[in-house]
A and B are shown apart, each in its own frame.
Chain A
Amino acid sequence: MNLDTKKIRNNIIKTLKDSGGGHYGSSLSCVEIIAALYSSVLEETEGQDYKFENWGYIPLTKNKFILSKAHASLALYAVLSERGIIDEVILKTYGKTRSCLGVHAERDVVPMVEFSCGSLGHGLSYAVGLALAYKIKGKDNKVFVLLGDGECQEGSVWEAIRFASEQNLDNLIVIIDYNKFGISTNTYDDRFGYKWSSFDCETTWVNGHNIKEIKTAFNIKPVERPLVIIAETVKGKGLKKLEGKKESHFFKGDIQ
């Protein structure tokens, strides 16, 4: 399956503009990453379709995806819309009164959202818990989790990865949207990869806007340790004026 990333990007920009602005930068930098997930490793389903209130029957993916950088939820919604799970009409309600599509995706409200995140630094631990559960049960399901690079400043992220590599969780794949900006900090770090490999993870770098490269990385089979994919991205990719700028993190008003 191939998803139209240009269309997804335009939908994100249009929807944010309509809702009065928001997290342009963070949502636009991870479009290819999320599109790659939903057109490869998250295609296979498992068990019976789940009856989701107001949404009908939704398939349960065999592999799990946690969007830990949940302020980029619009990117997830836009990809799910392209996948035909969220209708375009509903996508347009993003961020508006009584919409089910909030800024930070909520599970039990939006299909295919495994866990409600928002405060950064929590999602990796949850993914570790899932991965550990699969190991205990002897199942071969995988867990993918997407973090922001600013999010990696949180100590709890390192608590989680220390435990994950200690437990040899080779069914855990950590993807980092390395767009080199936090809210107002510059997160560029030429030792970033070493930090992860020093916690005993199989670490690899990809061009975060090349879907083929990302999908190839998903197939890496690390030996008894987690896989970390550092995706080099551009914050606000697709914007005319604010592409690559930290101001794209959160913006209200005329973006183009």
Chain B
Amino acid sequence: MRNTLAQTIYETAKEDERIIVLVGDVGVCVFEKFKKDFPERFYNMGLSEANMITVACGLADQGFIPFVYGITPHITMRAYEQIRNDVCYNNCNVKIVGMGAGLHYSNQGFTHQGIEDIAILNPLPNITIFSPCSPFEMKQVVNSSIKVNNPVYIRMGRNNGEPFEKYYGKDCHFEIGKGVLIENGKDASIIATGGCVQDALDASEELKKDGIFTKVINISTIKPFDEELDFDTKICVTVEEHNIIGGLGSCVAERYCGKMNFRKLGIERYKTFCGTYQDLKKLYGIDKDSIIRTIKEMYYEKD
């Protein structure tokens, strides 16, 4: 997904002189082409997230559109006060990209896992928060980020892969603040975001064998959150690569939980565990098997 990000930014920068890229000594190879062709618009700021974010504010106020790129927990947390006061409160047109959001960095451990970013950025004023799940969505998200004249945070997690596009088919569409129904069913709803969308789709497919038909809704805009999600099922499960507190599940619960039997799947009780991306998702109960198990439990529960 970061290649799509870099490519889309590069293509736009060819026509739009306002685009600038700032990196915190990560992702330099991702933006190699940009750096080569637009050297006066690419800055490796080094390992200094706080400075990088506020410098971006100064650049934005002089008419540039800076994309600030760093590893999710470092850029959103070390420089949280800068995002809060300088970007959001001063409403500067800065686009922050958190790479490796969720459990993408897997065996690199807790310090590299971005699993509280939604919770901390959601309350902030003026900010739009995107959570694309595929290269197609990433391209739409980058274009939308440039169109809006306010702070943006892009939560860039694991790529769900090009095969995912088959679910969109001809009706591929993206709209800021709108959830996308990518599978229909009457028995339960699975609302997912980012790296968990593929798990939700896989779970949905397998549940059919047991005669349980689920809706799958992909949420690619966390803020502004879709206030008109249409799911008339009695059961709903949300799933995300994020702490169970304050993430997608909380967004849905705040708005819709009165209507149905509701359960959240997210990261609870952090564990020190070295493993692959899939290992960690299984450990935290946010993989396909956990979704299936939860839906079945709720479905077969006696009223």
A residues engaging B (CB < 8 A)? 107, 114-116, 118-119, 121-122, 125-134, 136-137, 155-156, 159-160, 162-163, 167
Contact = CB atoms under 8 A, between A and B. Distances in A.
A118 B85 contact: yes
Please indicate which of the listed interface residues A115, A116, A129 has the most CB atoms of chain B within 10 Å of its own CB: A129
Contact of A156 (B41, B50, B61, B62): B50
Contacts of B85: 116, 118-119, 122
Interface in B70-103: 81-82, 85-86, 89-90
Contacts of B64: 133, 136
7 contacts: A114-B61, A119-B81, A128-B55, A129-B54, A137-B62, A162-B46, A163-B45
A105 B15 CA distance: 38
B51 interface: yes
Given A116-B89, A130-B61, A136-B40, A125 B81 contact: no
Most buried by A among B46, B62, B63, B81: B62
B58 interface: yes
Given A122-B86, A133-B64, A159 B57 contact: no
Contacts of B107: none
A115 B57 contact: yes
Contact of A129 (B46, B57, B81): B57
Contacts of A122: 54, 81-82, 85-86
Interface string B226-239: 00000000000000
A130 B58 contact: yes
B59 interface: yes
Interface of B: 20, 40-41, 43, 45-46, 48, 50-51, 53-64, 81-82, 85-86, 89-90
A125 B41 contact: no
A129 B55 contact: yes
A118 B85 CA distance: 9
- Interface of B, secondary structure class, is helix
Given A129-B60, A132-B59, A133-B64, 11 more contacts: A115-B86, A116-B90, A122-B81, A125-B50, A125-B54, A133-B59, A133-B62, A156-B54, A160-B55, A162-B46, A167-B43
Contacts of A128: 51, 54-55, 58
A110 B82 CA distance: 22
Contacts of A121: 50
Contacts of A137: 62
A119 B40 CA distance: 31
Contact of A130 (B62, B82, B90): B62
Contacts of B63: 133
A52 to B, nearest CB: 16
Contacts of A129: 54-62
Given A107-B90, A118-B85, A163-B46, A126 B58 contact: yes
A163 B45 CA distance: 7
Contacts of A119: 81, 85
Contacts of A126: 54-55, 57-58, 86
Contacts of A114: 61
Contact of A160 (B20, B51, B62, B90): B51
B48 A159 contact: yes
Given A122-B85, A122-B86, A156 B58 contact: no
B149 to A, nearest CB: 15
B58 A127 contact: yes
Contacts of A155: 50
A125 B51 contact: yes
A159 B59 contact: no
A130 B54 CA distance: 10
Given A116-B85, A133-B64, A136-B41, A162 B48 contact: yes
A130 B61 CA distance: 8
4 pairs of A and B residues whose beta carbons are closest in the complex:
A129-B58, A125-B54, A133-B62, A159-B51
Contacts of B89: 116
Contacts of B60: 129
